[in-house]
Amino acid sequence: MNKVVVLGATSGIALEVQKQLARRGCDLLLVARSAERLAALQTDLQLRGARRVLAHCADLGAVSEHTGVLAFVSGTLPDFDTVLLTYGTMHDQVLAARSVEAVIEELRVDFVSAAAILTLFAADLERRRGGCIAAITSVAGERGRRSNYVYGSAKGGLSLFLQGLRSRLHPAGVRVITIKPGPVRTSMTDNLPTAVKLADPRRVAADIVRALERRSPDILYTPPVWRLIMAVIRLIPESLFKRLAL
């Protein structure tokens, strides 16, 4: 984990992960939409200790831009060893549940585009026989809840995709990590009801960096208590689960 490509470098969790990777002296290649924000991050992460910070401006939600992203990566950091996918979108579920456009948009960004770009990076790492792919999904992807199933189904789909990818890339020695955070205090969750307990993004980032450094786990729950919570939630029979206002 010395040369890391971050897809979605301006997302709340990525910001904290990048600070911690910079402190370790990593090479970073940041991809995000806003050139202005990327420029601010470049200087900041350089001063925080990153060996080198490269930046590429692209809309990752648009599959048509993906080959350009891979071309930039191959041209500037061809020996990258880690890809971390952090971008995502979470619509207001009340809106999303009734709007076909909102449902399609969420699935398109969080699932379709993510699966598409990881397919490109997977081929590159498989050819070089090594490295690591890590992507942020969500505990919301484990069961469809009435309050968040559009986002949940996109993230759940991505989790399944990563599971298959992990198995496929295992013989090539490429590691695939599914990162499942609980709700984290970032811009994405500012509008959630205050009753939701939000995790500190620095702590979540520390868990992610540790997972990237080590050989395990395949599936990271962060904060770790979510592994336990989800184990219980998975046990609830569907006939009961559908009645719960979760």
Partner 1 sequence: MRNLQSGSEGSAAARATPAVLSWGRYPQLHHRALHKPAWRDQLPRVLEAAAPGSLLPFGLGRSYGDSCLNGGRELLDCSRLDRVLAFDETTGVVRCEAGLSLADLVGIFLPKGWFLPVTPGTSLVTVGGAIANDVHGKNHHCAGTFGAHVPRLALLRSDSGLLVCDAAEHPDLLRATIGGLGLTGVIAWADIRLKRVDGPWINNESIPFRSLKTFLDLSHESNERFEYTVAWIDCFAGRNARGIFFRGNHAAGDRQEFRPRHGPTVPFAPPGWLLNPWSIRAFNATFYALHAHKRGAGRESYQAFFYPLDSINDWNLLYGRHGFLQYQCVIPEQRLDAFEELLERIARSGMGSFLGVLKQFGPAPPPGMLSFPRPGLTIALDFPMRGEKTLSLMRSFDEVVRQSGGALYPAKDARMSPELFEVSYPQWRDFVPYLDPKMSSSFWRRVTGLG
Question: Could you list the residues that contact partner 1 (CB under 8 A)?
Answer: 7-12, 15, 32-34, 36-37, 40-41, 43-44, 47-49, 59-61, 86-92, 95-96, 102, 109, 186-188, 190-194
34 or 167, CB closer to partner 1? Answer: 34
What is the Cα–Cα distance from 72 to 55, expressed in whole angstroms? 9
90 or 165, CB closer to partner 1? Answer: 90
DSSP codes of every residue in the chain: --EEEEETTTSHHHHHHHHHHHHTT-EEEEEES-HHHHHHHHHHHHHTT-SEEEEEE--TT-GGGHHHHHHHHHHH-TT--EEEE-------HHHHTT-HHHHHHHHIIIIIIHHHHHHHHHHHHHHHT--EEEEE--GGGSS--TTTHHHHHHHHHHHHHHHHHHHHHGGGT-EEEEEEE--BSSGGGTTS-TTS--B-HHHHHHHHHHHHHSS--SEEEESTHHHHHHHHHHHS-HHHHTT---
**Closest CB 23 distance from partner 1, rounded Å:** 8
43 or 67, CB closer to partner 1? Answer: 43
**Closest CB 181 distance from partner 1, rounded Å:** 13
28 or 174, CB closer to partner 1? Answer: 28
**Closest CB 237 distance from partner 1, rounded Å:** 32
9 or 73, CB closer to partner 1? Answer: 9
**Closest CB 202 distance from partner 1, rounded Å:** 11
What is the Cα–Cα distance from 118 to 166, expressed in whole angstroms? 11
**Closest CB 211 distance from partner 1, rounded Å:** 20
Tell which residue, 159, 33, 150, has the closest CA to residue 102: 150
84 or 174, CB closer to partner 1? Answer: 84
**Closest CB 235 distance from partner 1, rounded Å:** 29
